[in-house]
Amino acid sequence: MDRRLLYEGKSKSIYEGDNDSTYVMEFRNSATAGNGAKKAELEGKGELNASISAVIYDYLAKNGIETHLIKMIDATHALVKKTEIVPVEVIIRNTAAGSFSQKYGVSEGTPLKNTVVEFSLKSDELGDPMINETQITAIGLAGKEEIDEMVRQALTINGLLRALFDRSGIILVDFKLEFGRYEGRIILADEITPDSCRLWDKQTGKKLDKDRFRRDLGDVMGAYTEVFTRLTDEK
Ligand code: TMP
């Protein structure tokens, strides 16, 4: 790709786009966990994640959610709207797992009585610390109305994704979203993939997400392939 590289993240790269209002986002095979402490190259991950994210973003767009995705250029490159990323990750949880289970002593798999919404400061340097609404507005990372809009969209997306995955026999345990500012609006950016979600098989509880990499459970790409196959079989 002979485009100018603008930013290299842990598993994606951003290149200049076709004009001033677009970027090209590349999904790479790199996998990291523990804020970069564990690293690997997983053959085929870039292509699988690009495909899974595209299927999900198309589904969300059809259901009224504006996303940054314009179109896929090839198997690992997406043309996207150039947004100014809000430096706050929005995490939605339906079932206790991961850092929530650890932090609050709630066994993994415990259903939550209501949907949990969390925010993390997007900062590799600081290890993405949890941050609350008053802290976000106090530092000026986002305004109150922007936070409300991100939460509103995240909850709508949760409902849509739970239904989509449920039809594929998958439980959406939790996931992380990023939003960007675009022409005065807040729109969904980044990716939705098994890297950014916890996905469990409804029948067996088998983990079909990045926890297979984080926890050395093996067959990471087999699980990602399974997610893609089930999502596309459903359509
Ligand atoms: P956590 O349980 O580690 O806080 O993760 C919650 C969800 O958010 C899980 O689906 C993984 C996702 N996530 C990311 O995509 N990127 C991150 O940097 C973190 C911390 C979590």
Tens of pLDDT, residue by residue over 176-225, are: 999 999 999 999 999 999 999 999 999 999 999 999 999 999 999 999 99
Give yes or no for a contact between 87 and 190, defined as CB atoms under 8 angstroms apart: no
- Among 105, 113, 91, CA closest to 179: 91
Rounded to an integer, what distance in angstroms lies between the CA atom of residue 151 and that of residue 149? 5
For residue 35, the model assigns a pLDDT of: 84
Rounded to an integer, what distance in angstroms lies between the CA atom of residue 49 and that of residue 159? 21
Residue to mutate, 106, 196, 210, 214, ligand 1, most ligand atoms under 8 Å from C-beta: 196
Residue 91 alpha carbon, nearest atom of ligand 1: 8
Residue 35 alpha carbon, nearest atom of ligand 1: 18
- For 177, the enclosing helix (H) or strand (E) is strand 170-182
- pLDDT tens digits for range 117-164: 999 999 999 999 999 999 999 999 999 999 999 999 999 999 999 999
Give yes or no for a contact between 10 and 35, defined as CB atoms under 8 angstroms apart: no
- pLDDT tens digits for range 53-78: 999 999 999 999 999 999 999 999 99
CA distance from start to end of the chain: 31
Ligand 1 neighbours, Cβ below 6 Å, are 91, 97-100, 128, 174-176, 196-198
* φ and ψ of 56, to 5 deg: -70, -45
Task: Name the percent of the chain in helix, strand, coil, to the closest 5.
Answer: 30, 35, 35
For residue 23, the model assigns a pLDDT of: 98
Strand partners, 179: 188
For residue 1, the model assigns a pLDDT of: 66
pTM assigned to the model: 0.97
Closest Cα to atom 11, ligand 1: which residue? 196
